[in-house]
Chains A and B, each alone.
Chain A
Amino acid sequence: MTVKELVDLFNLEIVAGPNLEKEIDGVYIGDLLSNVMARAEKDNLWLTVQGHQNVVAVALLVELSAVILVEDFEYEENSVQRACQKGVNLLKTKKKSYDLACKFCESEI
């Protein structure tokens, strides 16, 4: 599934979408970036509440398919700018990580 298909299927909001044709492979959930850097895998979706600009750097480093900010948290302004420059997809939702993850699970993501 591509990020674009995911956005349509789960009604996610696109905050920065420079690379929506990217393929998704698996999901990682966490808010400690040190841990995400160590544990998340290439092409994962990443569910978090952190909107700091370092999120973009971590997504780039681990080559994640998209970041999904949950619970209606907001990205910092410079995160959005940077994501557009660097080709990182930033999405958001009002849902909680668990609820969204359950939905992903039903769709076998």
Chain B
Amino acid sequence: MIKLKADLHLHSVLSPCGDLLMTPAEIIKKAKKEKIDVLALTDHNSAENVEVLQYYAEQYNLKIIPAMEAETKEEIHILCYFPDMKSLLNWQEIIYNNLSDQENDEDFFGAQIKCGYDDEYQSKIKYLLAASVNLSLEKVVEKVKELGGIAVPSHLDRKHSIISQLGFIPPELSFITVEISKNTEPKSFLRQFPNFNKFQFMQNSDSHYLKEIKAYQNLIVEKFSFSEFKKAVEKKDGRKIELIKT
């Protein structure tokens, strides 16, 4: 088995809350500096910058997992990871079809920028991405699975999490891995929610600024591939996620 340093939750300029310097090339450069091996860009309800990120990742010899952070009808944030760009783009279409037609108020929420292969701002997304889509939590998990992907509920210790919105995790959803934010650690989280000890934790930077990008975990896998990553998330065959003590 090998250890891969992974940051699997961060936002680019595409997310209205993402800093204007969070362009694909700059994200990759900072990740390289932090010795990160695997990165997943998880913008809110959109994946418009993932292809360009992939392009720069290849140049810097960094691995990418195609991803998005979706917001369900119940206003729960869910990290959605996919085996390839094609399935991510299929997912993006499902999300776009269920997005409300409220336009983004740039002054209030921030800009939503798609970047080109030159890492320059290319265009803006008209509709507000940082809002709930008309799909229930169960539907989101089901559809991500159908596309061969895997869903991990975001930052359980914060707002817009399953816990804050729904009080507890519906047992039918059989998650094995859940994310806790970088602001907590498993011990204090479990003190507050003792019955979460059956879960494996993922911990990410959830960066909105370049300086925040950092790995909080290692993927313990045979080699890098989506199926190996999926096994780690499902804690199968000796693959797992190991948090780095900070």
Nearest residue (CB) in A for B137 is: A52
Most A Cβ at <10 Å: residue of B138, B163, B165: B165
Q: Which of B16-24, B51-59, B166-174 contacts A (4 or more CB under 8 A)?
A: B166-174
Residues of A at the B interface (CB closer than 8 Å) are 32-34, 36-37, 50, 52-54, 57-58, 76
Q: Is the CB of B166 within 8 A of A33?
A: yes
Q: List A contacts of B164 (CB < 8 A).
A: 32, 34
A36 to chain B, nearest CB (A): 7
Q: A76-B136, A76-B138 given; name 19 further pairs at CB < 8 Å.
A: A32-B165, A33-B166, A33-B167, A34-B163, A34-B165, A34-B166, A34-B167, A36-B167, A50-B74, A50-B165, A50-B166, A52-B137, A52-B170, A54-B167, A54-B168, A54-B170, A57-B167, A57-B168, A58-B167
Q: List 6 A-B contacts (CB under 8 A).
A: A33-B165, A33-B167, A34-B166, A37-B167, A50-B165, A52-B170
Nearest residue (CB) in A for B163 is: A34
Q: List B contacts of A54 (CB < 8 A).
A: 166-168, 170
Q: How many residues of B contact A (CB 8 A)?
A: 11
A49 to chain B, nearest CB (A): 10
Q: List A contacts of B165 (CB < 8 A).
A: 32-34, 50
Q: List A contacts of B163 (CB < 8 A).
A: 34
Q: List B contacts of A34 (CB < 8 A).
A: 163-167
Residues of B at the A interface (CB closer than 8 Å) are 74, 136-138, 163-168, 170
Give Cα distance in the complex from A54 to B178, angstroms.
18
Give Cα distance in the complex from A36 to B137, angstroms.
19
Sort A-B residue pairs by CB-CB distance and give the 4 closest, nearest first.
A33-B167, A54-B166, A34-B167, A37-B167
Q: List B contacts of A32 (CB < 8 A).
A: 164-165
Q: List B contacts of A36 (CB < 8 A).
A: 167
Most B Cβ at <10 Å: residue of A36, A37, A76: A76
Give Cα distance in the complex from A99 to B73, angstroms.
24
Give Cα distance in the complex from A33 to B163, angstroms.
8
Q: List A contacts of B137 (CB < 8 A).
A: 52
Most A Cβ at <10 Å: residue of B136, B163, B166: B166
Nearest residue (CB) in B for A33 is: B167
A38 to chain B, nearest CB (A): 9
Nearest residue (CB) in B for A55 is: B166
Give Cα distance in the complex from A54 to B164, angstroms.
12
Give Cα distance in the complex from A76 to B74, angstroms.
11
Q: List B contacts of A53 (CB < 8 A).
A: 170
Give Cα distance in the complex from A24 to B138, angstroms.
32
Give Cα distance in the complex from A54 to B167, angstroms.
8
A17 to chain B, nearest CB (A): 23
Give Cα distance in the complex from A36 to B164, angstroms.
10
Q: List A contacts of B166 (CB < 8 A).
A: 33-34, 50, 52, 54
Give Cα distance in the complex from A33 to B166, angstroms.
5
Q: List A contacts of B74 (CB < 8 A).
A: 50, 52
Give Cα distance in the complex from A36 to B163, angstroms.
12
Give Cα distance in the complex from A52 to B136, angstroms.
8
Give Cα distance in the complex from A33 to B164, angstroms.
7
